[in-house]
Structure formats: structure tokens, C-alpha cells
Amino acid sequence: MVVNKSITNSILSYNEYVKVAYYQDKKTKKFFENSYIFNKNTGLINKIKYDKDWHLRQSYLYNTFRIDYLNQECLANGMTPIFITLTLPSPYHPTSKYYDPNLSVSDGYQKLQEIFRAVYNDFKVDRKRIENLKFIRVIEPHKSWIPHLHAIVYVPAHLKDLFLGHLKRIIENNHLKQTDIKVLETAKYAVVYLLKYVDKTLSGSDEIRGWKIHHKIKRSFTMSNLNNGITRNIFKRLSSFLKYDEEDEDNSYLHQILNKVSIDRFQVDENRNIIKHLKFGTSNSSISISETIEVTKKVSKLTFDEDINLDDDMIYEDENLYKIIDTIVFQGFEEVYNMRDNIFYKGDFIIEPDVPKYDFAISIEQGNEKLNI
């Protein structure tokens, strides 16, 4: 599907993309400078300190730890990691004599998504779709700012050759000339291999963020659902006091958390009736966390077909999908956090030290309009 053309599809320079990111950061900072936290118990009003670098660092750590977790899980289950690089065909590249000026950066992004969906969704053996594939996928720009794709797909070892044949057919059908396919025999280092290519994208460098904003690329990074209960929201709370043990080489950081924490996640309807209760981690821990979410819109079948991770960035951009009602952390049966009313869901920020860490709501005031969230 070709998207509508507009000025946002024009290719900018490095400095112009940096300016786009700077402008967005400036708008976000201004928004929070006009915002405050109101404590319902004490009546105290406190300003919110927004820290872009903290937000980017949290996002980078969360995503790299998720990648490490998925890699360990797949290798423990005997799956083979296959590294894939896909570059768009000539009509998408301005330097090619076959360049089609009607094709934009956004069109290239959509095309790469379409191709990768075929790689992941259309792999069949004896006409049956293989559903236990896992993947990590990143779309980022070349030096020409035209997008390309890096991915690791984890395949059951006995299906490796069949998958490589499936991948070859997709490459030929889409006329892809520049590709790189590697079976990572040293599977332990699959994460290091991927991060070597995509570190700037995951760390949120200014020019990459500006590129994504300008061309409306919302999901440059995605991966298979981990189903381990550690959402981005929960990670932010636990990582503040559960430190990563680098000497524990047998367990990723998320595995270490699950070995120390008990997690309960409740899914409720609009009347707060419990629809689903899931438990994760260890049952005999002195640290427990409870999170309640409300479903506000059905997830489409297409979403599940694409195996979108419900903890991915998209969820934080689409407020109509899931709504975090409450997140509570207990340590040794003493309440540590009781965050309410979508505080972290609405935006990432650091609370000033004098704000009590329990039972407060956020109010946002813009001009004469006051919104209670």
C-alpha cells in the first residue's frame, strides 16, 4: 500500500533531522513545564521534571534486556538464530538510474514491513503455518536515509533449511538484490551481532529520532511477545532497586528479576470486573508487584498475525488500546509504590524528591483548560 504523499516524505539532511528531534523534545518539555502532580491525600502540588535522556536510556535498557531474554529463551529451546538484512530494490533509491520519484521513505518502510510479514507469517511446512518462530526486527536508515531492515529470526533447528528456502523465494519474488543472510552458529553472541548494527536506532540518537518523526515511522523496532509479565511500566519500577548481576552469566537481567519477584497482572473490563489474571515470577518472594490494565479497544486479528508485542512502543502511542489503571510494588510487605491514573502511561518523567511515592493523581493544566486524567 502506497501512503499519501506530503512534505513529510521529503528527504532531509542530517542537521535537519536533528532539528526535527530537537523541536519535538522542546514541545514535550514545554508540555511538562505546564504540568504538575497533585497529591490527593496531602493537597501538595509539585512540578514534573521531564528528562529526555532518562527516558531514552530507560527505553534502550528495556529493549536490549528484552532482546537478551528472548535470545536466551530461544537458545534454551534449541532454536537456531538466522540474521537477515534486507535492502529495498532500486526504484526506492535516489542514486539508482531505476529510481521512481513517486516512491517515498514511508513507502519503503511499508514495503519492508510487508516483506517481513511474509517472512514471518507465510512459512509453512506441509501447508501448515509454523507458529513457533520468534523474531527481533529493526528498520533504520541508510546513509541516503532510505530504510533497510535487520532482523534475527529464531527457527526450530530441524526446520532451518526449509526456512532458508522460504526466505530465498521471498527475496526473489520481491526483486531484492542486496541482502545478507547468516546462520549464527555462535548463537550465544546473536544479541551482540544484532546490536552492532542497530545500536544507534535503539539508543535514540537525535538524527534517527528526527527521521522517524518526520517520516511518521512509528514502529522501527519490534519483537515477539515475551509473555513474561515484565511490561515497560513494571520494568521502570523494578529496575530502580533490583540491580543487574553481571556475574550471573547464565541468566539475563529479566530472568534475574523473575527469579526474585512475584508479578500479578489483572485485565479488567470497563466496569473493573476481572477478565484475566496472570501470574509470573516466583511465588515465595518478598517483592511482589500487581498491575491492572483495562482493555479499551479490541486488538485486531491482524495485530496478532503480526505478533506485535503488547509491550512495544506502539502501545504507548495508541491510548485507546490498553490503559494502565494501577501498579503497586510491595517489598517485604511494605508498600513502595502505588502509582495511579495513568501517570507513566501518559509520559515518562522523573518525580521530584519531595513528592510522596504513593496515592497521587496527575493533573495537567494548559492555559485556561484543566484536564484531570
Model pLDDT for residues 115-129, shown as the tens digit of each residue: 999 999 999 999 899
Distance from C-alpha of 37 to C-alpha of 291, rounded to nearest angstrom: 21
Residue 321, C-alpha cell as written in the block:
488500546
Residue 282 lies in a domain: yes
Domain final position from 223, 245, 267: 223
On whether both 88 and 148 belong to a single domain, the answer is yes
Residue 236 lies in a domain: no
Residue 198 lies in a domain: yes
On whether both 168 and 302 belong to a single domain, the answer is no
pLDDT at 346: 30
On whether both 325 and 217 belong to a single domain, the answer is no
190 within 8 A of 83, measured Cβ to Cβ: yes
Q: How confident is the model at residue 55 (pLDDT cuts 50, 70, 90)?
A: confident
Total domains present in the chain: 3
On whether both 78 and 137 belong to a single domain, the answer is yes
Helices of type H across 34-159: 52-76, 105-121
pTM for the predicted model, two decimal places: 0.77
Identify which has the larger pLDDT, 37 or 169.
169
On whether both 59 and 42 belong to a single domain, the answer is no
Cα separation values, 117 from 7, 170, 171, Å:
28, 11, 13
Residue 38 lies in a domain: yes
265 within 8 A of 295, measured Cβ to Cβ: no
Distance from C-alpha of 65 to C-alpha of 51, rounded to nearest angstrom: 21
The domain in which residue 301 lies consists of 253-307+315-335
Cα separation values, 347 from 29, 135, 243, 317, Å:
11, 28, 24, 10
337 within 8 A of 324, measured Cβ to Cβ: no
On whether both 153 and 127 belong to a single domain, the answer is yes
Mean pLDDT of 279-289: 86
On whether both 63 and 43 belong to a single domain, the answer is no
Whether 9 has a pLDDT exceeding 80, the answer reads no
